Amino acid sequence: MRPSPLSFCVAIQASFLLSPCLPFSTQHVGKVQQQMPPSASTLIRSSSSFRPTTSTSSLNSQILDFIEPTTGVPVKLIGAMHYNPASIKLATDTINELQAEGKLGSIIIESCSTRWNATLENEMVKNALQSEMRAAHDLGLKYNRPVVLGDQCINITVSQLKNGAKEALIDLVQPIGGWGRLAESIGTARRESVPIGDGYLGIDSFLDEKLLGAAPVSFVKYPLSYMVKSPVAAVIVLGLLVLSGGEVSNASWLDEPASTSDMLVSLLVSFLETVVFARVFLKELLAERNEVLAVNILEQCKNYQSQSNKNGWMNLFKSNSDKANGAIYARESVVGKPEEGKTVVAVLGLAHCNGIKKIMTER
């Protein structure tokens, strides 16, 4: 039987998404970026789905701007392709501009304390690789702004992925009832995690020419970061890929026509892989983590909610302590405190942005 190409994709995606090495980085984004003036291309407007941007920078289509309805605080979601130089520049320019305007509030990055602290332990990796989240983190420390590790703990994510894959496999072998539950689960997760329409990022955000032009850098740095941080796990994954693709190296099947049965089996295996991967990707990797990220963004918004028209003279006695419940701040970061006129910034993978905005604006 021919090896299924999708099996390679699933194995690689799972290894990257579960790796504790995300995000790796370089040294402080520092001197070169400090000398760069705030770019006019970072005057961001909320992107509408499938609408071309009218700005001089097409990368504006990777940013969602909205007002968090319960606090009235502006929120800016910066969608990124991890390790992509265009995404790094977008995050850097946006944060620098907000700081220049005196509007920079908390910075939330898509990482948990376990994954983030692991990146700080490997100096070689820190000096060799650069990510948009590290750039945002370093600017937050430079500007003395709160830097929040807003993602779900990796241990919880791994556990939920195992349970999700198990549930999907059980449903697959139960045509009566199971297939319906699986289809409903995938459909619900898709609607929650990847909403489309006006006010959301569209396909143009993912197919931006600057983002795609720099994509080869991401494709190199992403697996490299995993291999450097977790060499044993990387060797195991690579070994599995080599073994599963053993028939490819022989390539004898290229000279022989495949039988109908082989083609049907290969298509069936690919379909089952796709279904299971779609289930865990949309639900466990996107929808459930979006909930956690949205809550952490909302908690930071509470620090910047206007208090000027509340309780009158009682404002004289208001507390200056952090109002964000359960916030996990990066090492060396300041803790959040009540301020006004600030914008909360979140640096996230592109796939998270629409779902998080839906949670924060429609619930």
- To the nearest 10°, report the CA torsion of 107, 293, 214, 270: 170
Structure tokens at 361: 């604006």
Under 8 Å CB-to-CB from 71, ≥6 apart: which residues? 298, 301, 302, 304, 305
Q: Give 192-232 pLDDT, tens digit per residue.
A: 999 999 999 999 898 888 889 988 888 888 777 766 655 65
**Side chain identity, residue 216:** P
Q: Could you tell me the two tokens for 334?
A: 């300041």
Which pLDDT does position 245 carry in this prediction?
53
pLDDT of residue 320: 84
Partners of 63 in the beta sheet? 78
Q: Residue length, the chain?
A: 363
Q: 76-108, pLDDT tens digit by residue?
A: 999 999 989 999 999 999 999 999 999 999 999
> What is the pLDDT, as a whole number, of residue 20?
37
CA 238 remoteness from chain centre: 24
pLDDT at residue 51, as a whole number: 36
From the centroid of its chain, how far is CA 279? Answer: 18
- Give the per-residue pLDDT at 123: 63
Residues of the chain predicted below pLDDT 70: 1-60, 121-128, 226-258, 308-318
Q: How far apart are CA 130 and CA 288, in angstroms?
A: 27
Around Cβ 52, how many Cβ atoms within 10 Å? 11
Whole-number pLDDT of residue 267: 82
CB within 8 A of 116, min separation 6: which ones? 23, 109, 149, 330
Position 215, amino acid: A
Q: Which of 131, 125, 149 is nearest to 88 (CA)?
A: 131
Cα(33)–Cα(44) distance, integer angstroms = 19
pTM of the model: 0.76
